Amino acid sequence: MKMVQLGINKYRFFLLLFVVIISFGISFFLLREEEIISVDLVGSEQQYLPLNSNYIDPGFKIMINDRVVDEKEYNYTVDNDINVKVLGDYELVYHINYNDEEFVLKRNISVVDTTKPVINVSKNPVEIYYCDKESNINLEYTAVDDYDGVITDKVEEIRENDRIILSVSDSSGNLTEVAVEITYTDEVPPIIELVGNEVVYLKKGAEYVEQGAYASDGCGKSIDEDIKISHNVDVNVPGEYEVIYEVSSSTGKTAIKKRTVVVYEYNGASTNPQQDDKVVYLTFDDGPGVYTEEILDILAKYNVKATFFVTNQFPKYIHLLSREAEEGHTVAVHTLTHKWSIYQSVETYMKDFNDMNDIVQKYTGKRTRLFRFPGGSSNTVSKKYASGVVSAISDRMTKDGYIYFDWNVDSEDAAGANKEQIYNNVISGMKSKKNAVVLMHDIKKHTAEALEDIINYGLANGYTFKALDEMSPTVHHPINN
């Protein structure tokens, strides 16, 4: 009985041992199956590499479960065709051999341009003349990109108030903007130009009519509407007043202009016995011409009489001789042709004189006995044509009952004097003469412009204006030929 029991126990022992061994093998097999191998890139699969930079490969790693496999346990090669000098997409291919297995990984590398172009401006800020502020500004600049090279021709300019924005993009879309400031030089103050005369004479009680003014901002742009006008003219009180014109430009520059208004007592233009020592004879040579009618209008406005030493230089206006006579002015002979050749002899002068006097008679109804030598009796040009001819003509004309007049006040309009100079020349001459015979020319624009001021000054200062007649005091120059 005991031996049988022992055999059974042995059997159970080996059976148990077998079970243990089988269980251990199964467990070992199961443990082997739970090992996880992973092969992954370090870093992102898509990477961007700045142009011309060095590429540092982050590589890859092999993991078995949580353990990083040492590089000594595997082999690998990399296919790499990256060109850091050329934009584009490249591929890195890793061929990995581990534990008799081959793994392939790929990484995409994009070489990109992230550097903005550079704009170099020769001047910043740039100075321009103020009046050219609306004009195009020629800037000098260059634009260079690290990949595209010189791209100056791609620069765009945008004007924004007092600066210019330069912008340029390279082929990769990198944008650069540079602001160029604008400064202005030589800002010109506004200019005011009066309509009418700077001096206005008004009879006491007459209405002051504002004639206005024009204004520009110094660059020629009209700013008439911005003019401010102020004055304290009292037309009922004789005296001198100022009208002030003021205007400012958009830059704050200001201009002021003044007009003088003289209010005076008016006793009329006729002769005043108490004023015979202040007589003015306004005389006009060489017309009628383009400005004669304007001069006649001014004389009529003030009821001032004058003397016209006439010619036939401008037949288009010869009909104005009739108006001159009808309005009470003296029409006298100057010359038919106004050519110096009339001084060739007494006869040539007399023919010229008589031919002109015939025209005077035609338009005025009567001949005249008054005349003025071309160049005045003191002229020396006549010497080129005949010696002593002016003296001979003077003797002949005087014997025949004709009277010639020179002048003792020269406006110098024939010498090119402007409006202000003519006015000053005449006024200063009037002041120094008891009887002022004033030489002017009704074919001169500036004479017509100055005439009203001259008359107003004379009336305001007690002068009497008369036309020459056969009883007028003669003014003779010394005859030089």
Note the pLDDT of residue 18: 66
How many residues can be counted in the chain? Answer: 481
Determine how many CB atoms are found less than 10 A away from the CB of residue 330.
23
Which of 395, 372, 352, 414 has the alpha carbon at shortest distance from 481?
A: 395
Note the pLDDT of residue 273: 38
Note the pLDDT of residue 97: 95
Q: Which residues contact 230 (CB under 8 A, 6 or more apart)?
A: 243, 244, 246
Note the pLDDT of residue 387: 86
Which of 382, 395, 397, 373 has the alpha carbon at shortest distance from 344?
A: 382
Note the pLDDT of residue 111: 93
Question: Tell me: the pLDDT tens digits for 178-236?
Answer: 999 988 776 778 999 998 778 777 778 888 889 899 999 878 889 999 999 999 999 99
- Residue 272 phi/psi, 5-degree rounding, is -115, 120
**Domains present along the chain, CATH in parentheses:** 37-112 (2.60.40.10), 118-185 (2.60.40), 191-264 (2.60.40.10), 273-466 (3.20.20.370)
Note the pLDDT of residue 185: 76
* 442 touches 294 (CB < 8 A): no
Note the pLDDT of residue 6: 44
Q: pTM of the predicted model, to two decimals?
A: 0.52
Note the pLDDT of residue 270: 38
How distant, in Å, are the alpha carbons of 207, 389, 391, 405 from that of 480?
51, 10, 8, 15
- Torsion, Cα 191 197 200 201, to 10 degrees, reads 170
* 444 touches 189 (CB < 8 A): no
Note the pLDDT of residue 10: 63
Note the pLDDT of residue 454: 96
Which of 184, 124, 174, 117 has the alpha carbon at shortest distance from 151?
A: 117
Note the pLDDT of residue 268: 45
Question: Tell me: the pLDDT tens digits for 165-180?
Answer: 999 999 999 999 999 9
Strand partners of residue 282: 438
Q: Which H, E and C letters describe 427-462, residue by residue?
A: HHHHHCCCEEEEEEECCCHHHHHHHHHHHHHHHHCC
* Residues in the chain where the model's pLDDT stays below 70: 1-15, 17-33, 186, 265-276
